[in-house]
Amino acid sequence: MLRHTAFFLFRDGVTPEQRLTVLKGLAYMRYECATVQHLDFGTDLFGGSREMYSVKPYRRTPRWRSRHDGPPTNFDVALHLDFVDKAGNDTYNDDAVHHEVADYNASICEGELTARVDWFYDGEFLTRPGHVRHSELFVWDDGVEDRAKEAALDAVQRLETAPEVESVVIGRNVGTLQTDFDWIVDIQVPDEQGCKQLLGSDLYAAVMREVAPVTKYEWTARISHLMRGI
């Protein structure tokens, strides 16, 4: 199965009504875009960009000074679309309903910060409705050797040993956009409390200490959301 994953960051000042319209538009694509086999979406359980926007722009740590701290905020909304193959994804990209939804999203989101990756996974649809998905998208640092990349991916896979974790799936980007991220880790846990426990654990911290030096860590895109699965 080919999955297209995209994370969106709202602009400052977006209203609750506008946020709801985004979610309605994402859900609508499942029924109107013929090649979409499965769709999951959700808003960040931990506030997304709210905390970042509570700090004046001139007082925030900019990304170019946060190499070791990581991203300044979670993203606000995640979208996951499944297709049988690349042709299905291409057809979706040409779909008029997709364009209409994308145009609205662009009007209230930080378009240059949208995080995307296309990746393959095996087996049944990668969604457990009612459970929680924590996803992270990464960009490799320049000049990192393949063996260092593999070591980082092996470290991430260790997260499946955490008692809260139901599954860990790593996907490598197969998309062709200049703005695509390089890889994704998709982590599923039973509930919000389990997600908090994982992200606050020594294991998670140790894994990120191995990932950070080989990635452009400040650009990491993260979100935790309730899975819907339609």
Q: In the prediction, which pLDDT does 222 show?
A: 97
Among residues 181, 188, 79, 168, the alpha carbon closest in space to that of 138 is found at 181
Cross-strand partners of 134: 187, 224
Of the pLDDT bands very low, low, confident and very high (cuts 50, 70, 90), residue 213 is very high
In single-letter form, the type of residue at position 115 comes to A
- Sorted by sequence, the CB contacts under 8 Å of residue 158 that are 6+ apart come out as 203, 207
Cross-strand partners of 82: 3, 38
Of the pLDDT bands very low, low, confident and very high (cuts 50, 70, 90), residue 114 is very high
The two tokens of residue 40 are 């999951």
Domains for the chain: give ranges and CATH numbers: 2-226 (3.30.70.100)
- Sorted by sequence, the CB contacts under 8 Å of residue 61 that are 6+ apart come out as 69, 72
Mean pLDDT, to the nearest integer, of 87-105?
A: 96
Provide the 8-state DSSP code for 158. Answer: G
Share of the chain above pLDDT 70, in %: 100
Helices (H), 68-201: 86-93, 96-108, 146-157, 192-199
The per-residue pLDDT for range 152-197, each reduced to its tens digit, is 999 999 999 999 999 999 999 999 999 999 999 999 999 999 999 9
Of the pLDDT bands very low, low, confident and very high (cuts 50, 70, 90), residue 70 is confident
Residue 119 has phi, psi (to 5 degrees) of: -155, 155
CB 107 within 8 Å of CB 25 = no
